[in-house]
Amino acid sequence: MKFQKKSGFNKRIAGSVTLGAALLSSTWAMAQFPAISQPKHYPWSDTTLSPDTRADMVVKELTLDEKIQLVHGLGWQAMFVPPESGPGTRAISAGGFIPGVPRLGIPDLQMSDSVEGISGAGARGRYATALPSAEAMAAAWDPALSFEIGTMIGNELRSIGFNMSLGSGINLIREPRDGRTFEYKGEDPLLAGTLAGQELKAEKALHLITDVKHYAVNDQDNGRTTVNSIIGKRAMRESDLLAFQIALKDSGAGAVMCAYNQINGTYACQYPYTLTDVLKKDFAFKGFVVSDWGATQSTVQAAMAGLDIEMPGRESFGEPLKKAVETGQVPMARLNDMVHRILRTEFDSGIVDDPPQPQAPDVMKGFEVAQKVEEKGSVLLKNNRNLLPLSAASVQSIAVIGGHADVGVISGGGSSQVSPAGGSAVPPPPELANNPMAVFLITAYHRSAPLKGIREKAPSAVVKFDPGTDLASAAALAKSSQVAIVFAVQHESEGVDLPNLGLPDNQDALIEAVAAANPNTIVVLETGGAVLMPWIDKVTSVVESWYPGIRGSQAIANLLFGDVNPSGKLPLTFPLSEADLPHPIKINPPTPTAEHPAPRLPGFPGLAASLMVLGPSFDVNYDEGLKVGYKWYDAEKKPVLFPFGFGLSYTTYAYSNLSVSPGESPTVSFTLKNTGTRAGTEISQVYAALPDSAGEPPRRLVGWMRVKLNPGESKQVSVPVSRDRLTVYDEASDSWKLVPGKYSILVGGSSRDLPLTLAISY
């Protein structure tokens, strides 16, 4: 392009095309240069009107074809080859895209997965911050941090041009071998729902449509599209569905993603009980239900059950839905409700009045948040002889072994995979390098090497690395070093469950060999969830760092050397063995046969189809019912490796002086003292044991508080406990009830360390 020299304005554009483009795309430019077309004003542009009124006004103007256009995506191929949309627009998403209605000022929906950062960014050649895994976020037990996470994610979504977030995930951990455990926020509905609610609340405040998933009882990935989750209503309402209820109430999220699995014989995306009776009626949810990608199994049944959008394609809600409306199988009133919910959410979220303006992301802020999550969410599981924190002044030699710690930190795979900046530190196999489904198939590492962080903390020490692939070599290095740090990794990914809870690739033997060679052995776990530790009595210290994210090196080094005092607590139980699980033997899908072949999803790449569909339907009976996670181990009186809520510190705490205010929504008060020599933060937890007549597990989490204390300092801590945290769901009356009788309030540092107890009656 050539620029004439007649105008100073043209000269400035010639000097900076990028700057000019940015100015021309902004509201400021429209005001400064009236020749630029102004956004058209419509009757529903009046922001003083309610979102419902504005949506109703638009619905009246839409044609049948436009209504149908708004309730489905454009197909699997749109994830890889973005389609053209309306005039002047184009899909940017590798996640999901629905064209808007330009003539009425209704924007496209540009969606991206964002459970641990913007996974759709890399597919569009853009940077996004890779946060630690959702389990690390949950282990921080910090609603304020969750709000900060949501703010960071929301800003990065807007900076790229996305206006809809496909997160947060809050499926409770009923099956700890689930390949997506790392995407979720633990095994307790109050913890998961509260943290997700704050994250989504922050994203919505930035004018984005927010989504919570996967609704519901979507607790394993092997056969996830054909598994039938069998579970009672009370068990559902008090566990999985309660987590969603809390998150939606706290956040005002605009969308709920229904899951692949069946629930009690009906697919989750066409199950009237969960979609309409519970979600839209009991929860008073005003947003829309969007299917997981490929989870829509019907047209009329799904539409009438409460599904509002089919993604990513139109096999059910495209031409088939149009015909169903024309023939009266789906009333026009139902289609209008679907469209109303979508439009109402667009107005309520602010994406119509304040669309994203693409810009460079705040990379430094992303680093700050990622490091903070890892530092607050890492859990110190063992620390004999106070080996940690290490002293840079006294440690002379350190062996760093295994886990590719010389180049990076591991991350989980699948649709939540944030593209590693600069590419994976451990390159994928050549045959997968350019495969669009590689996120499901490779093990990616972010370029944040723990070895580098350790060397920076101990500049006077000799720090050597061994890959850990040869046990004799690793043991020799450990023996010649003052301290040995083994990095052990466990990769999880969407689409496939773990075969077991053990560390893969002979890492248990590696840890034992190193521990035998060096009595000062530290294990740093980079895992998606719970792991078994047959070597636990042979090592001195253990740190659970989860998937550490883009600033894993700095955060892990700060924790190991005491610049940060660990404060994280486990959001899920670590069992002693798989024999102790509610379902010791994992139920996997049956092998496809000629009579029951493995179907293929229309238009979906064949390589990934096996990750989505695996043969005939099969049942998983969640007969543990209410006893999810720690509630199972408590009820069954099973010892555990590490209990829910557990986490050590470099200091110690003492609890005393418990009191409970009267009333249906009591306040629990107690004194917490730092009895050690370092400043630290304790996550004080409050549990309730309900009357025997309630038929509940022994105790449930009803509140918590993060308390920061200096050495020797005491604080009076008050934790409000709302009435609904003490109620039980009554199936007969379809209501929540406070059971009369004696309640025990228990307070302490974990679900099995509760030194304070006080009885109250209702």
Exposure of 171 in the CB half-sphere (CA atoms within 13 A): 25
DSSP class of residue 204 equals H
Residue 305 in contact with residue 271, Cβ under 8 Å?
yes
- Sort 67 into a burial class: Cβ within 10 Å, 0-12 / 13-18 / 19+: buried
More confident residue, 588 or 65: 65
Q: Which of 47-56, 71-80, 268-277 has the lowest mean pLDDT?
A: 71-80
Helices (H), 363-470: 363-377, 438-441, 450-457
Residue 75: per-residue pLDDT: 85
Q: In terms of DSSP bridges, do strands 700-709 and 618-621 run parallel, antiparallel, or are they unpaired? A: unpaired
pLDDT for residue 84: 56
* DSSP, residue by residue, 577-620: -GGGSSSSS---PPPP-SSS-----TT--HHHHHHH--SS-EEE
Task: State which amino acid sits at residue 31.
Answer: A
Phi, psi of 631 (to 5 degrees): -65, -30
Query: Among 17-31, 256-270, 578-592, 713-727, whose mean pLDDT is lowest?
Result: 17-31
Of 564, 754, 557, 509, give the one whose Cα is nearest residue 646: 754
Written as six digits, the tokens of 287 are 């947003």
User: Could you give the percent of the chain with pLDDT greater than 90?
Assistant: 84
Reduced to 3 states (helix: H, G, I; strand: E, B; else coil), residue 56 is: helix
Tokens of residue 201, six digits: 């609340």
Answer for the pair 428, 438: CB distance below 8 angstroms, yes or no: yes
SS3 (DSSP) at 438: helix
For residue 411, is pLDDT > 90? yes
Given this model, what pLDDT does residue 441 score?
Answer: 76
Is it the case that residue 393 has pLDDT exceeding 60? yes
Q: Per-residue confidence at 430, pLDDT binned at 50, 70, 90? A: confident
Residue count (the chain): 762
Tell me which amino acid residue 352 is. Answer: V
> Residue 323 — pLDDT band, cuts 50, 70, 90?
very high
Four-CA torsion 418, 422, 428, 434, nearest 10 degrees: 80
Alpha-carbon distances, residue 31 vs 38, 41, 42, 350, 484 (angstroms): 9, 15, 19, 21, 63
What is the sign of the dihedral through the CA atoms of 576, 581, 585 and 587? negative
**Nearest-CA neighbor of 533 among 578, 477, 482, 493?**
578
Q: How far, CA to CA in Å, does 178 sit from each of 37, 182, 575?
A: 52, 9, 15
Higher pLDDT, 664 or 391: 391
Residue 328 backbone zone (phi > 0: left; psi -120 to 50: alpha; other: beta): left
Helical (H) or strand (E) element with 621: strand 618-621
Nearest to 190 by CA among 592, 639, 688: 688
Model pLDDT for residues 592-620, shown as the tens digit of each residue: 777 766 544 444 544 444 445 556 889 99
pLDDT of residue 97: 93
The predicted model scores a pTM of: 0.93
Q: Is the peptide bond before 740 cis (omega within 30 degrees of 0)?
A: no
| CA distances for 386 relative to 382, 478, 534, 651, angstroms | 9, 19, 21, 10
Q: What is the pLDDT of residue 676?
A: 98
Tokens of 224: 């996830």
The tens digit of pLDDT for each residue in 436-453 reads 667 777 899 999 999 999
For residue 22, the model assigns a pLDDT of 40
Cβ–Cβ under 8 Å, residues 127 and 121: yes
Mind listing the domains of the chain with CATH numbers?
8-349 (3.20.20.300), 372-579 (3.40.50.1700), 651-761 (2.60.40.10)
Q: Radius of gyration of the chain from Cα atoms?
A: 27
Closest CA to 225 of 293, 308, 321, 275: 293
Amino acid at 670: F
pLDDT recorded at residue 350: 98
Nearest to 357 by CA among 118, 160, 101: 160
Closest CA to 293 of 69, 68, 95: 95
DSSP letter, residue 394: T
Residue 664's pLDDT is 81
- Whether residue 168 is preceded by a cis peptide bond, meaning omega within 30 degrees of 0, is yes
Is 446 in contact with 549 (CB distance < 8 Å)? Answer: yes
Contact 140/568 with Cβ under 8 angstroms? yes
User: Rounded to an integer, what distance in angstroms lies between the CA atom of residue 119 and that of residue 94?
Assistant: 8
3-state SS, residue 540? coil
Which has more confidence, 3 or 505? 505
H/E stretch holding 234 reads helix 233-238
One-letter identity of residue 651: T
For residue 745, list its beta bridge partners. Answer: 688, 758
Instruction: Provide the phi-psi class of 306: left if phi over 0, else alpha when psi is between -120 and 50, else beta.
Output: left
SS3 of residue 700 by DSSP: strand
Contact yes or no for 444/411 (Cβ under 8 A): yes
* 458-473 tens-digit pLDDT: 999 999 999 999 999 9
> What local confidence, expressed as pLDDT, does residue 87 receive?
40
Instruction: Please compute the mean of the pLDDT values over residues 72-91 and round it to a whole number.
Output: 64
